[in-house]
Structure 1
Amino acid sequence: MNFLSVNLRGVQDSQKVDWIRGIKTSYGVHFLAIQETKLGATTSFMFNGFWGRSAYQLECVHAVGRSGGIASLWNPSMFHCDNVIKDRYFLVLSGVLNHLGVRINLVNIYAPNDALARRNLWVKLLDMKNSLQGLWVFMGDFNEVRDESERFNSEFIATNAEVFNQFILAAGLTEFNMGGGKFTYISDRGDKLSKLDRFLVCLGFMERWPKASVLALNRDASDHRPILMSTVPSDFGHTPFRCFNSWMEMPGSWI
């Protein structure tokens, strides 16, 4: 199953819609997590453009004013959702992977800028994980880094990173190494870089799909790079074989 997560800073832009639909098509995405939709309860918007013509299902958390907003779209032939939990800063879809019969909880997160509010969010997420059965995938914009190396030209606050790491440890979560780049957020001027977006998975997920991969894709219509997690190992076909004409001149080469 392929998961795509991206902070779009608003979805009502045809360039962003076309960009994400192109990624979704190119990488065969089955689950799309969008943060910062900026869509309120009274805003009329169709998500079809992101997904294309194939069938999909959708759940949203409305923005408060022009701040926040979360949307999750998925292929119902791959994932059957039977429980939804909504909060201002996260959206949980709990259900079953159809082809495997495995229960899984998919959490789309858009963490707040305020450090105290983030700490309260980590407590909520930990309580929720301890209350539901199944595998876990936490994805989205966590608005926090794990260590100083995940920031460049921006302030690193060790105590905030420590609390974030304590949450990850207490929840029994881990993450795959990310390819494609070290940072996911790039400021508008391009001078500040941070790894704010990530996938965190439970140990059971890691054990079932040890060869899963995470890739940071090129930034186009947002200040965040989309990140892709795939549980399907990349297959580049048969190993190439090169034959030199000189080999045919060697004694016994035709035997």
Structure 2
Amino acid sequence: MNILSVNLRGVRDSRKVDRIRGIITSYGVHFLAIQETKLGDMSNFIFNGYRGRAAYQLEVVSAEGRSGGLACLWNPGIFTCDNVIKDHYFLALSGSLNQIGTRINLVNVYASSDATVKRSIWDRLVTIKNSLQGLWVFMGDFNEVRDEMERFNSEFIASNAEAFNQFILATGLSEYQMGGGRYTYISDRGDKLSKLDRFLVCLGFLERWSMATVLALNRDVSDHRPILLSTIPSDFGHIPFRCYNSWMEIPGFILWRS
């Protein structure tokens, strides 16, 4: 299963639609999590452009005014959803992976920048995590870093990072090492960098897909970089046979050509 998460800061721009559809096509994305849709009435917007002609299912959390908003789109042939939990700051989908019959919970998060509200979000997510069975993947814009190294030229508040790390510890979640870059958020002026976007997975997920990868993609239509979690290993075929010219000088060496 390939999962794409991105904070788009609004979803109506045709450039954003084209960019995300291109990523979905290029990387074979099965599940798309969007943060900050800025859509109050989702019935007035059609997400068809993001998936092209491919079949998909959709769940949303409406924005309050022009703040927030969440959307999840997925391939129903890969994931079957049978339970949805909605909150202003997260959208949790429970169901099963069709091909292997494994129970899984996928949580799209867009956390507040307010420290007090954020800690309340962490508490609610811990309660949900403890109430449902299955594998877990939390994704999105957590609006927080885990340590000082995840910020550059912006304020680091140790107590907020500690609260975030305590949430991760309480839920038993882990991270894959992210490739493609250290930071996911870049300010409009380009002078402030932070790793605000990430995937957090449970131990069972980590054990089942130990070779999964997380990649930060290029930032071009938002101030956040899209991040991709892929559990499908890349197969480049057989390892090519290397032949050195010096081998041909060895008596008895025969070079066969197919």
TM (norm. structure 2) is 0.97
1:76 aligns to what?
Answer: 76
Is 1:226 the counterpart of 2:213 in the alignment?
A: no
The aligned residue for residue 197 of structure 1 is 197
For 1:165-244, list aligned pairs within 5 A: 165-244=165-244
Kept in 1: contact 2:34–2:72 (CA 8 A): yes
Report which stretch shifted further, 109-118 or 41-50. 41-50
Identity %: 76
The code of the aligned residue for 2:44 comes to S
User: 1:8 corresponds to which residue?
Assistant: 8
Q: Counterparts of 1:235-254 in structure 2 under 5 Å?
A: 235-254=235-254
Q: TM-score, normalised by structure 1?
A: 0.98
Cα distance in structure 2, aligned partners of 1:112 and 1:62: 15
Q: Once superposed, what is the RMSD of the aligned Cα atoms? A: 1.1
1:89 aligns with 2:103: no
Q: Name the amino acid aligned to 2:219.
A: R
1:21 is aligned with what amino acid? Answer: R
CA distance in 2, matches of 1:154, 1:254: 64
The answer on whether the counterparts of 2:150 and 2:194 sit within 8 Å (CA) in structure 1 is yes
| Alpha-carbon separation, structure 1, partners of 2:119 and 2:246 | 68
CA offsets, 1:9-63, max 9 Å, x none?
0000000000000000000000000000000026611101111111000000000
Q: Give the distance between the partners of 2:235 and 2:193, measured in 1 at CA.
A: 32
Question: Secondary structure at 1:254's aligned position in 2?
Answer: coil
- Letter aligned with residue 73 of structure 1: L
Hey, what's the Cα distance between the residues in 2 that align with 1:42 and 1:176? 33
Contact 2:57 2:74 in 1 (8 A): yes
- Aligned partners of 1:205 and 1:246: how far apart in 2? 48
Which amino acid letter does the alignment assign opposite residue 39 of structure 2?
L
Q: CA deviation at 1:235?
A: 1.9
| Contact 2:37/2:69, CA 8 A, preserved across alignment | yes
Contact 2:42-2:62 at 8 Å conserved across structures: no
Once superposed, which parts of structure 1, at least 4 consecutive aligned residues long, lie more than 3 Å away?
none
Q: Are residues 1:33 and 2:33 paired?
A: yes
Aligned residues: 255
